[in-house]
C-alpha cells in the first residue's frame, strides 16, 4: 500500500490504497515499473502489467520519465484523461487518472469565447483610440479582415458619427 505525501492538515503521512480509489490509479516505482494498478486502471490500460515498465499510454509513460511532470493529459482509446502525480518516498509515483472526455467540447467553446472577447476588447480599444473619422474607418477596415469581424457591426450615420455594437446571437 503506497504512502501518500504528508497530509496538508496534520502533517502526518497517510495510507492510500489504489484498490479503493474512485479513479484509475497506477503506482510506478523509480525505475518505471508498475507496482500496483487498481481495477479501473487495469480496465483502462490493458497493456499495463505489474512488474513491467509502464509503456502505454505514451504520454503517461513520457511524463513518468520527466521529473516533476505534475499534471499531464492525453488520449486513452476514445477518451481523454488528465493524470496527476503524487511522489512517494523512495522515488515512486502514484498517477491518478481522471476522465475529461465530456469536458473537452466545453473547454474548446470557452477558449473560442475568450478569443472572441479578446478580439472585441482589442477592436474597441483600437477604434476608440482615435477621434479622427478617417483613422477610425481605416482601423475598422483592417479589423474587418479578422476572423472575429462577424461578431460586431459598425454603422456610419449621416452626421458623420460612427457607432459599433456587438452582434447578438441566440445560443
Predicted confidence at residue 69, as pLDDT, reads 63
Mean pLDDT of the chain: 76
Answer yes or no: is 117 within a domain: yes
Which structural domain range is residue 28 located in? 18-99
Domain identity same for 48 and 112:
no
Examine the fold and report which residue of 81, 99, 117 is the final residue of a domain before the chain moves on: 99
Domain identity same for 61 and 123:
no
Domain identity same for 45 and 93:
yes
Question: Quick one: which of 1, 5, 13 has its CA closest to 84?
Answer: 5
Q: Is the separation of the CB atoms in 95 and 28 below 8 Å?
A: yes
Residue range 103-119: average pLDDT? 82
pLDDT in tens, 5-15: 444 455 555 56
Give the three-state DSSP class for 103. helix
Write out the H or E segment, with its range, that includes residue 150.
none
State the Cα–Cα distance between residues 93 and 75, nearest whole angstrom: 20
pLDDT band at 1 (very low <50, low <70, confident <90, very high): very low
State the Cα–Cα distance between residues 87 and 26, nearest whole angstrom: 12
Residue range 94-110: average pLDDT? 82
Answer yes or no: is 166 within a domain: no
Answer yes or no: is 121 within a domain: yes
Amino acid at each position: 500500500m503506497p504512502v501518500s505525501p504528508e497530509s496538508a492538515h496534520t502533517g502526518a503521512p497517510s495510507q492510500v490504497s489504489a484498490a479503493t480509489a474512485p479513479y484509475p490509479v497506477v503506482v510506478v516505482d523509480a525505475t518505471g515499473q508498475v507496482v500496483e494498478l487498481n481495477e479501473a486502471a487495469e480496465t483502462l490500460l490493458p497493456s499495463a502489467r505489474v512488474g513491467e515498465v509502464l509503456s502505454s499510454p505514451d504520454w503517461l509513460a513520457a511524463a513518468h520519465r520527466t521529473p516533476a511532470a505534475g499534471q499531464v493529459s492525453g488520449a486513452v482509446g476514445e477518451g481523454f484523461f488528465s493524470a496527476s502525480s503524487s511522489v512517494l518516498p523512495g522515488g515512486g509515483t502514484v498517477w491518478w487518472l481522471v476522465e475529461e472526455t465530456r469536458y473537452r467540447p466545453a473547454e474548446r467553446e470557452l477558449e473560442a469565447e475568450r478569443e472572441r472577447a479578446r478580439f472585441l476588447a482589442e477592436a474597441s480599444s483600437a477604434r476608440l483610440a482615435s477621434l479622427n473619422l478617417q483613422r477610425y474607418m481605416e482601423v475598422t477596415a483592417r479589423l474587418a479582415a479578422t476572423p472575429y469581424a462577424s461578431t460586431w457591426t459598425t454603422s456610419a450615420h449621416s452626421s458623420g458619427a460612427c457607432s459599433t455594437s456587438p452582434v447578438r446571437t441566440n445560443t
